[in-house]
Amino acid sequence: MLENRDESLGLMEPMLISEGTRARDELADLALTLAEESAAFKNSLPGGVRIALVDLVRSMNCYYSNLIEGHDTHPVAIEQALKNDYSADVGKRNLQLEAKAHILVQQWIDQGGMKGTPTKCGNIAEIHRKFCENVPQDLLWTEDPDTGKRFPVIPGELRTRDVKVGNHIPVSPGAISRFLDRFEAAYDRLGRVNAILAAAAAHHRLVWIHPFLDGNGRVARLMTHAMLLSALDNGAIWSVSRGFARSEGQYKSLLAACDMPRRNDLDGRGTLSEEALVAFTRFFLETCLDQVKFMRSLIQPDKLRIRIQLWAEESIRLGELPPRSDRILQAVLYRGTLPRGETSDIVGTTDRHARRLTAALIEREVLTAESSRAPLRLSFPARLASRWTPGLFPDQPD
């Protein structure tokens, strides 16, 4: 029999920042600015570049989300895992498999696999299930800090025992379903501004409920990614997790502050502090904006083309790419995609030689295509990120 303390749903209120809150206008302005900046960035990129960027950002998002959990798996190692190229070290291999599991869930989200709103109870459980079912069994355990007893984490299964997270004791196991139903109802069918603000509020309220024995932070960040993808139509080309990881102390302290009860009559009308929720929401939106601006400055088409062209010219001098292959790469950068039949005209050679140049670029993983006849488009290999997209994530350690 599950422990059930029959907690009141009011313990989780407020679910959204109320219209009458003093900071509401400021936060609404931030939300609209975020929507505008995100759309401008997405629209500034050629389609082929945008598609290529999604794969790189997915690995980056995975890297920073796992880093917040204390698991450091570099995007190059993640890229290797996606090719089933694993470390001989069991510990590193397990982390690669964990990262791959995260990537597969986000890919499912990005490609429209999630049905309905991200805050639906079924979708939250499905995120957890899809992630955990691909994680090595060695990592699917959690330990009671007081007794040292270990408990298995079951993919997609709500927790069946009480836990303590810092100073916070989440709701009893028997109450989780009721609180998730309230969670789903609170964030359903919102207007645009509220949908953006809700991404911050829901991020905290889900970890406050703590529905799973472990993995709640990752599930919350993946759910948040899905919420921002829906509310902003951002193309999945920037990641708030990078911002969270770069300000990890502030991120965790503001999240913990949202657990605090209402301080006084000026602190909202719910049980939890609205002032703390406002502070976290402001941090959340400013972090999102910072990441959009960072990515937009990094992927400015003109500057990106120069960095990639310099790399290509150097690779040709070193004999790592054949002469004239940079012309194909440059054409793809300008146009987004390039029909294979046009490559010979671009390089001024026979079709056969143009195919050799194209094959060399594909082998170096800087160009890709959906099939042998499909148009060529750009690819962003993680191993070249320090040259092509400097600052996106740290260089891989030796």
What confidence score (pLDDT) does residue 373 get?
A: 87
Please write the tens of the pLDDT for every residue from 50-64. Answer: 999 999 999 999 999
- Segment 135-164 shows an average pLDDT of 93
Contact 385, 393 (CB under 8 A): yes
State the DSSP code for 269.
S
Beta strands in the chain (DSSP E): 141-143, 150-152, 337-338, 367-368, 376-378
Helix (H) or strand (E) holding 218: helix 216-232
Which residues lie closer than 8 Å to 68 by C-beta, 6 or more apart? 217, 221, 241, 244, 245, 248, 251
Is residue 398 very low, low, confident or very high in pLDDT (cuts 50, 70, 90)? low
Reduced to 3 states (helix: H, G, I; strand: E, B; else coil), residue 131 is helix
- Report whether pLDDT(158) > 90: yes
Contact 220, 241 (CB under 8 A): no
Q: Which two tokens stand for residue 127?
A: 């995120």
- Report whether pLDDT(31) > 80: yes
How many angstroms separate the CA atoms of 364 and 362, rounded?
5
Any long-range contacts for 184-190 (C-beta under 8 Å, 24+ apart)? 184/117, 184/119, 184/120, 184/121, 186/15, 186/16, 186/119, 187/15, 187/117, 187/119, 187/227, 188/117, 188/119
pTM to 2 decimal places: 0.94
Q: Which domains does the chain have, with CATH numbers?
A: 28-298 (1.10.3290.10), 301-387 (1.10.10.10)
**If we measure between CA atoms, which residue out of 365, 308, 363 comes closest to residue 331?**
308
Q: Which residue has the tokens 């869930």?
A: 105
Q: Which residue has the tokens 């889900």?
A: 206
What confidence score (pLDDT) does residue 144 get?
A: 85
Beta strands in 250-302 (DSSP E): none
Is residue 108 very low, low, confident or very high in pLDDT (cuts 50, 70, 90)? very high
**If we measure between CA atoms, which residue out of 131, 144, 140, 120 comes closest to residue 214?**
140
Please write the tens of the pLDDT for every residue from 229-274. Answer: 999 989 999 999 999 999 999 999 999 999 999 998 777 889 999 9
- Report whether pLDDT(147) > 90: no
State the DSSP code for 261.
B
Task: Give percent of the chain above pLDDT 70.
Answer: 99
